[in-house]
Amino acid sequence: MKEIYMKARAKVNLNLEILEKRKDNYHNIKSVFQKINLYDEIYIQKSDNDDCQIQTNVEELNNKENIIYKAYLKLKEQNPNIKGINVKINKKIPMQAGLAGGSTDCASFILGMNKLFNLKLSKNQIKEICKNLGADVVPCLYNRAILAQGIGDIITKINTDLKYYILIIKPEISCNTKTIFQELDTRNDIKQIHKSEEIINALESNNIEKLSHNLYNVFENVIKEKEIIQNLKKELIKNGAIGSAMTGTGSCVYGIFQNKEKAKKVYNILKDKYQIYICTSYNSLREKEF
């Protein structure tokens, strides 16, 4: 095998609870991650050089600070038989949006490299590498709904094939994950709502109404642009979404719709006003696990 193609799927958080700050300065979380059918395309090709050359359609990512390059160095350190590669990334997932664009690229890259170079890494080895590269990377290994706990490294797969339609709006603001976590750490007035069990039950019973009524993200309370986020949620609900929330640490806001026709209608209403994406949930129960 000389090259491989991977789809790196985005995620939305159906709920996001931050439980406590740890001694290592990470935070324990409790969150249901839902993969969606919005994805970046990653092409990995063996080359004659002894380095990783990255080319993307986002100029600011074409450097050695890219998480893909860091993953390449980590893999090469542990597996000397890895040689040079050329990586082409067609980015479709917006950045600083709460959709895990960088993390899912990293997870897919590691899985692709494992196949391309026949590294025969175990699941635990893959997860350990991912864990050391970023908190969202381990959950992005799974192309399905999962419950993520700990620092995102404790995974429980959710048995669901529920397909629902999602509209995602990327406002003209970007959010810095480190900054928004620091803001949350300074707030003692926020009482978090625990929704994981209700959301898991809704997914497993294919109850889209229950799912939509239990969406929750603690960061909606601390984001500086709170009014922008709330107004987007209201607009989605006004146009027919049965539930809406911000994903991750922002800035994207999504709405859940009961059917394709309604989602398409609202997409057409809002597409000239916002940077907007129409997606579906993605639960690949038949896909071979990594």
Mean pLDDT by 10 residues, the chain (290 residues): 96 96 90 98 95 93 90 94 95 96 98 97 96 94 97 96 97 89 89 95 98 98 94 98 97 96 98 97 79
| Residue among 40, 72, 85, 44 at smallest CA distance from 58 | 40
Q: What is the pLDDT of residue 252?
A: 97
Sheet holding 253-257, edge to edge: 243-246, 253-257, 165-170, 275-280
The set of residues, in sequence order, having a beta carbon less than 8 Å from that of 79 and lying 6+ positions away, is 117, 119
Q: What is the pLDDT of residue 290?
A: 73
Q: What is the pLDDT of residue 1?
A: 87
- Beta strand pairing status for 85-90 and 3-21? unpaired
In the numeric block, the tokens 């209201």 are attached to: 234
Q: What is the pLDDT of residue 249?
A: 95
Long-range contact list for 275-278, CB < 8 A, 24+ apart?
275/94, 275/169, 275/170, 275/171, 275/172, 276/167, 276/168, 276/169, 276/170, 277/38, 277/167, 277/168, 277/170, 278/165, 278/166, 278/167
136 is catalytic: yes
d(CA 45, CA 106): 16
Query: How many residues belong to the chain?
Result: 290
Q: What is the pLDDT of residue 2?
A: 94
In the numeric block, the tokens 């890219």 are attached to: 66
d(CA 66, CA 133): 11
What would you report as the CA-atom Rg of the chain, rounded to the nearest whole angstrom?
19
Q: With contact defined as beta carbons under 8 Å apart, do 182 and 228 qualify?
A: no
Q: What is the pLDDT of residue 287?
A: 66
Q: What is the pLDDT of residue 6?
A: 97
Question: What's the pTM value of the predicted model, to 2 decimals?
Answer: 0.95
d(CA 140, CA 152): 10
Q: With contact defined as beta carbons under 8 Å apart, do 290 and 111 qualify?
A: yes
Q: Which of 35, 40, 105, 136 is catalytic?
A: 136
Q: What is the pLDDT of residue 64?
A: 84
Which DSSP category does 220 fall into? G
Q: Which of 11, 30, 91, 195 is catalytic?
A: 11
Measured in degrees and rounded to the nearest 5, phi and psi for residue 161 equal -125, 25
